[in-house]
Chains A and B, each alone.
Chain A
């Protein structure tokens, strides 16, 4: 599904954010990207949805090289991806329903079809009764669930999540994780950046550890909970 070769990203200011990244993610996988703050997790995800251009290297998504894609092609890539952020990125002046409808409307899907799918997506995150509410009228956890409904309403190939639980308490984090896991169970490839080791310990999946812009660990096979988390912690500490 995703192949990354010799990828490097240097921002104009500061040290290189990513150097020589090689990573393959298969269809239907669930991958954590972890590592200390400033390791390059967000940069990697941003490169995957073409939010920025790499300095060097190639990224193939679903067999398509996205590094040399023209700006006019980017929207069509993004329609196959779902993105979720730490700060939810909901439009404050629109109702929850309108927020979730956006990815469908930009594709020119019929209103009736949009309404049906939006309702289903909100039902999936158990917020269908808040259809007409505005983002600031609901809690942070609920806002993130709306953002996830928006990301999944198009049935994307890949779900990219950058610290999706960074602003949320433990109970809400658990709810969010369940949503990701069930999307993954339905076949969506999930790539999630997080520095929450407790989360990784509780929901063990493949873990890629970044440090200083390099991959320092890649636990490709699901290890036992403690072993995986322990190794990650050790590599983070060293």
Chain B
């Protein structure tokens, strides 16, 4: 019984789609375009978020040196530094080593460094921390202690900068929510207008259905399902289209941009977000169909 009814509703929805394919296409397109914008914003957002978490794990202490110390000075510094209980290792990175690392990171673009002096980058001491302290607050605490020795005044750690970057990301998040919300509202409005046109074309049919004893929900159901199908198609199109454009244009540019910042992998949207977009499409289709249906399916004139 239930199944027969569902079948009846789906047949009605399919008939509606076949009768006004252009309007249906317009609704699908509306959903697709607006969700694709959300998808692009998502790609950029997730990759930046990935960047901070990547940096967060790599956070380390570095003391930049004006010139490489001799062995006795180095041994003394080591002793001073290892006096901190959090410190596990102290490692000297010479100018040459620093340059070699940078060359590796640039990969194919390493020839940019051709002809530059070997002392381009300063030598540094890299301080490794014991496992429980390998986080931002641990790093900050050690940096604070070491800064009391004046030789180590040029101590750097990514923590402060990361905090600022974090607030940028949360700002980005806020902007995304506002922009996304606005976009989704605009989409509902546009879908409602498209569906209003199809309902206007069928106003006689809708009136007749109320006259012969159809309940409001029974009459509306095929149209709600039609909206859901259009939204679903729009959502799938948005994710598919966004992926295609991501692959053909965005991927390489993002790789270049992010690689110089230390991330090798650029990712598309997480699958949860993709499903979220498709479901959002369906929801938009349904929400968009409700206001015009309320207007056109009326028991009393």
Contact = CB atoms under 8 A, between A and B. Distances in A.
B73 interface: no
Nearest to B212: A103
Contact of B218 (A49, A71, A83, A106): A106
Interface residues of A, number: 29
Interface string B197-216: 00000001101111111111
Nearest to B208: A89
Nearest to B207: A89
A78 interface: yes
A79 B215 CA distance: 10
Interface stretch (A13-21, A50-58, A120-128, A211-219): A50-58
A38 B212 CA distance: 26
Given A51-B301, A75-B299, A108-B1, A93 B213 contact: no
A81 B211 CA distance: 9
Contacts of B295: none
* Secondary structure type dominating chain B contacts: helix
B5 interface: yes
A26 to B, nearest CB: 24
Contacts of A74: 210, 299-300
B208 A111 contact: no
Interface residues of B, number: 22
Contact of B214 (A46, A75, A92, A150): A75
B209 A102 contact: yes
Contacts of B5: 108
Contacts of B219: 106
B213 A91 contact: no
Interface centre among A75, A78, A90, A150 (most CB of B within 10 A): A75
Contacts of B210: 74-75, 78
Interface in A61-84: 71-72, 74-76, 78-79, 83
A167 interface: no
B300 A102 contact: no
Nearest to A79: B213
Contacts of A92: 204
Interface of B: 1, 4-5, 8, 19, 204-205, 207-216, 218-219, 299-301
19 contacts: A50-B300, A52-B300, A53-B300, A72-B215, A72-B216, A74-B300, A75-B215, A75-B218, A75-B299, A78-B211, A79-B213, A91-B208, A102-B209, A102-B214, A105-B8, A106-B219, A108-B5, A110-B4, A154-B213
Given A53-B300, A78-B213, A106-B212, 12 more contacts: A50-B299, A51-B301, A52-B301, A74-B210, A74-B299, A75-B213, A83-B211, A89-B211, A91-B205, A102-B209, A106-B219, A154-B213
